[in-house]
Structure 1
Amino acid sequence: MKHKILAIAIVSALPLVAQAQTSVTMYGLIDASIGVENNDAPGESSRTVVSSGTQSASRLGFRGTEDLGNGLKALFNIEAAIAADTGATNSRMFDRRAVVGLQGAFGTVTVGREYGPIAAVASASDTLGQGFYGSNLASFGTNRLTRRLDNSVNYQSNALNGFTLRAAYGAGERNETDLQDTGDITGVALEYANAGFYVGAGYQNREDLPSGDSKEYGVGLGYKFGNFELRGGYLAADPEFANGIDNKYEQMNAGVSYGFGASRVYLNYQQQEQELGDAEGKAVTLAYTYTLSKRTNVYASYAKLRNNGTGVFTLAGSGNAIALPATAFGADPQVYNIGVRHSF
């Protein structure tokens, strides 16, 4: 009788054990600001804007893990961008990340829409945390670097003596009748982090036939000592065109931040160059954040970009960019804003 009671108790407890081994979390971040933009283009003037995602892109996501035993875990993460100023969402629902995978002693493997290896290097080497106007996110966009990979298989090693390896393959999903690969992306990155020091390098190749392949690469450095943080990096997109035209894009950034009490001040310099037309743009960003709680902070920022006579670069942030007419060569956009950010 005692054995029967024990067996019933064990069977009854199994769902509770399974529940304890499974974790699903809903999370999010809302960032909204009010500011003034001036694109300095002919016939244009300043405008007051309410924006979403000035310091960090607003988002809503779900993530979870399941313990499969023997150190093996299943995981998933789906994350959608949202616009705090209008309540709108992107045309694709989970545009930021949508993956499922396995994690264990071998590292982590994910399948779906994932950040490319070079994105990790860019993020770790940006003083602004890829937020505010003038961050190195200006490097990611049409005909430049690829930040997220669709239809991808991704690998990240566990840290070994400070080293982490990342590798990815994104299928262009070409037709079987195609004579050559089109749209496939392969990438790799190697990072080292120890005692506040960071160095990383990444490379991606995007097959853009019939025009040619695009080579994307970058390096980044970072060092934290006391209340200071120094970060800087170099990113480049080098497309190959069938007509032999070279239109290499390069972006360099260097910055410092200093924290005191609940405050942190950021100063960042960014330079963008485009081979075609010898276009060049230089930007400076000054930002300030004040932490109200573990999940909430307020901020203020100012950014100014100067283009040369053939430059038409703009100031871009984590969720925004100042719109410049394609013909506004030499325009010098600037923006300043104040906002609040809350995570949950």
Structure 2
Amino acid sequence: MQFKRLAIAVIAAAPLLAAAQSNVTIYGVLDAALSKEDTGAVNGKKTLQLNSGNQSSSRFGFRGTEDLGGGLKAIFNLEAGYALDTGVGDTALFGRRSVVGLESEFGTLTIGREYSPIAAIAAASDPFGQGFYGSNLSAFGSTGRLTRRLSNSVNYKSNAYSGFSVLAAYSAGEQTSPVAPSAPGLPVTADSLNLRGIAAQYANGGLYLGLGYHEYNRLAAGKDKEMAFGAAYKFGDFEVKGGYLVADPTAANNKFEQLNIGGTYTMNANKFFVTFQQNKVEAGNAKGNAVALAYTYNLSKRTNLYASYAQLANNDTASFGLNSSSTNITPPTTAPGSDPKALSLGVRHAF
């Protein structure tokens, strides 16, 4: 009789035990803003835009863990982006992040589409938190600039030891045959589009330091190099952040450099942001300097209002633009020297 009672109790508790061992969370961000944008081009038209994702990219996702015992966990994350103003999803359904992996006392190993080691440094050291026009996201995505996400990748992040942690990644270009070189002296290679990256971080109290490096085998163009250095320090209600990002392609005179420095001040539900950004490319001695301001007001833990303003001054050979979390303002390359500007008012809700 006692055995039967015990068996019934175990069977009844099984769903609760399963729920305790594994969990899945649905989360997301909805961000919309009304923006007045100006590319700065001669005879260009200032436009009023309803944008999605000026402070944070609008998204939804699923993440979960399963306790495998002995300190080992299975983890996954699927994250999709979309435009709140139109309801249209990104080209790739889970193009923001799509990984499965294992987590233990030795660190975390993930496989799939993941953020690069340099992306972690840039995110931690951007005064704007990679939101609002004037963020350091203008250093990513364009040809010859830095790589933010890695498809077909294997990624490792160590646990922190005395404040130190290490990130490493390998992204397979999946080229099935050797690719001929694009210039004399470059080797024939079968690993074109492969990327190898590593980064080291230190976080202790209010101090953060990060350093990262990528080596990217561009298709038939030799190896590109990407580097990042970031720092941050929080003291009381103030936080200062800065970063230096470099993309050095194989081709001569194409080196790209970006410097960001700024800070935030928090006062109750109010938060104020300021940042200065400089972009440079060797070719033509192109240079652009940007100054940006932002303000957020928290209506609750999950909802805030925001306002931001940014302006960028390009020299006569430059056509740099302004990037927020999901939108950008880029002058036409046929009109170098144009000075883009943007003013945005928006609302952001996270769930």
Same fold (TM over 0.5): yes
Counterpart Cα distance in 1 of 2:90 and 2:46? 27
Give the match for residue 239 of structure 1: 249
Matches within 5 A, 1:27-176: 27-143=27-143, 144-176=145-177
Offset at residue 66 of structure 1 (A): 0.5
Matched, 1:200 2:207: no
Counterpart Cα distance in 2 of 1:289 and 1:19? 37
Matched, 1:305 2:305: no
1:78-130 CA-to-partner distances (Å, cap 9, x unmatched) read 00111111111111101100000000111000000000000010011111001
Counterpart Cα distance in 2 of 1:158 and 1:176? 38
* Runs of at least 5 residues in structure 1 that lack an aligned partner in the other structure: none
The match for 1:186 among 196, 208, 212 is: 196
Counterpart Cα distance in 1 of 2:310 and 2:245? 20
Contact 1:129 1:135 in 2 (8 A): yes
Secondary structure, in 3 states, of the residue corresponding to 1:310? coil
Secondary structure, in 3 states, of the residue corresponding to 2:221? coil
Offset at residue 328 of structure 1 (A): 1.4
Contact 1:240 1:246 in 2 (8 A): no
Secondary structure, in 3 states, of the residue corresponding to 2:328? coil
Give the match for residue 257 of structure 2: 250
Equivalent position amino acid for 2:162 in 1:
N
Equivalent position amino acid for 1:293 in 2:
S
Offset at residue 212 of structure 1 (A): 1.5
Equivalent position amino acid for 1:208 in 2:
R
Equivalent position amino acid for 1:149 in 2:
L
Secondary structure, in 3 states, of the residue corresponding to 2:333? coil
Tell me which stretches of 4 or more aligned residues in structure 1 moved more than 6 Å.
none
User: How much identity, in percent, do the aligned residues show?
Assistant: 54
Counterpart Cα distance in 2 of 1:209 and 1:198? 35
Equivalent position amino acid for 1:321 in 2:
N
1:196-225 CA-to-partner distances (Å, cap 9, x unmatched) read 001100001110142121100010110000
Contact 1:229 1:257 in 2 (8 A): yes
Give the match for residue 183 of structure 2: none
Offset at residue 13 of structure 1 (A): 2.3
Matches within 5 A, 1:194-343: 194-241=204-251, 245-343=252-350
Secondary structure, in 3 states, of the residue corresponding to 2:297? strand
Counterpart Cα distance in 1 of 2:127 and 2:113? 26
Counterpart Cα distance in 2 of 1:4 and 1:310? 83
**CA RMSD between the two structures:** 1.1
Give the match for residue 10 of structure 1: 10
Counterpart Cα distance in 2 of 1:228 and 1:104? 34
Equivalent position amino acid for 2:224 in 1:
S
TM-score of the two chains, using structure 2 as the length reference: 0.95
TM-score of the two chains, using structure 1 as the length reference: 0.97
Number of corresponding residues: 341
* Runs of at least 5 residues in structure 2 that lack an aligned partner in the other structure: 180-187
1:146-165 CA-to-partner distances (Å, cap 9, x unmatched) read 00000000000001000010
